[in-house]
Amino acid sequence: MSGRNAKNPQKYPEISIIVPVYDVENYLQKCIDSILAQTFTDFELILVEDGSPDGCPALCDAAAAKDARIRVLHQKNGGLSAARNAGLDVARGEWIGFVDSDDYIAPEMYEKLYRAVQQTGADFALCDYAEVDEAGTPSNARTHVVIPQKIFTERELLQNAYLTMMQVAWNKLYRRTIFAQLRYPVGKLNEDIFMSPDICLQAQKAVVVPEALYYYVQRGGSIMGKTRTLRHYDAAEAAQRYWNCLVENRVYETLPAAAEYTFGTVNKIYWALPLELRKAPRSKEMCKMQFAVVRETRKYCAVPRKLRMQSWLMWRCPQMYGWLRDLTKN
């Protein structure tokens, strides 16, 4: 990782903003423009062009030719994690931010996040986000829990690492030292969920800016908008990993919530799959895994009876569970 060097008098930017770029020709310019319009100007923008098959490579180079703060990395397609990692390897700022290339941000986002970490001494700051459609129209339904203004310290960070505002990479400003030994897992979907506990363990303090400063664009062609496949069980693996992390660090009071989160993740993916994939060994393995997590949680603390029954049915007879679930909805 590139860093400050006492022998090099060059002034490095305070913030490095990393944007992985792949197949977003219709969205990239809006993303770049929103970053260049930041009221906080002491930053570098690292565009990691991940072997995109469309016009993105040319758009990246054209943007860099117009603004000296932009650096472009061209590489063979390796996926979102590989692109973020490549950006981390060359980042020069004391602080790190990520923006997905089909999203955009409010002009004051990094100014407010930077002010928050400076005022509190936090290792990272996070803000709320707004879900919008491709035209920029806000979604009527909020799908994540909003964390109020708060400072989280050590144990509290792990307790809340499963919340979406904590998990996602792109609504935050991180102290660069957090990534000294951390990199995103290559080849996994839901890489943010895998990384969230590790990031929380590296931080002593985090601060919440309770404003929607990031615009998360819901589009049909994105990774998360595509038809579910067995690969989407990566999210369930990440949930199990979070549960294990809680046990290893003796944060037992959060285990019931983590067990319910693991069950819910498997349940959501299972029923989103085509029927033939629900019968696949991977699906059976994940149904058994979530039950094991719920069962093991009882060694440390009480588990609600409803969750125990749901988990057992999801493992032993998912069709019956689905029938009962649908019955209670009607």
Which residues are paired to 172 by β-bridges? 126
Q: Which fold has domain 15-217?
A: Spore Coat Polysaccharide Biosynthesis Protein SpsA; Chain A (3.90.550)
Neighbours of 159 (CB within 10 A): 18
Residue 187, classified by CB atoms within 10 Å of its CB into exposed (0-12), middle (13-18) or buried (19+), is exposed
Under 8 Å between Cβ of 56 and 28: yes
Q: Each residue of 186-241: pLDDT tens digit?
A: 999 999 999 999 999 999 999 999 999 999 998 765 544 557 899 999 999 999 99
Q: Each residue of 76-128: pLDDT tens digit?
A: 999 999 999 999 999 999 999 999 999 999 999 999 999 999 999 999 999 99
pLDDT at 270 over 60: yes
Quote the CA–CA distance of 44 and 12 in Å, as a whole number.
Answer: 9
Under 8 Å between Cβ of 35 and 214: no
The pLDDT of 267-273, averaged and rounded, is 96
Give this prediction's pTM.
0.90
Neighbours of 275 (CB within 10 A): 6
Comparing CA positions, the residue from 312, 313, 196, 302 lying closest to residue 256 is: 302
For the chain, the average pLDDT equals 92
Per-residue confidence at 2, pLDDT binned at 50, 70, 90?
very low
First to last CA, the chain: 55
Residue 67, classified by CB atoms within 10 Å of its CB into exposed (0-12), middle (13-18) or buried (19+), is exposed
The pLDDT of 300-307, averaged and rounded, is 96
Q: What is residue 226's predicted lDDT score, i.e. its pLDDT?
A: 56
pLDDT at 1 over 60: no
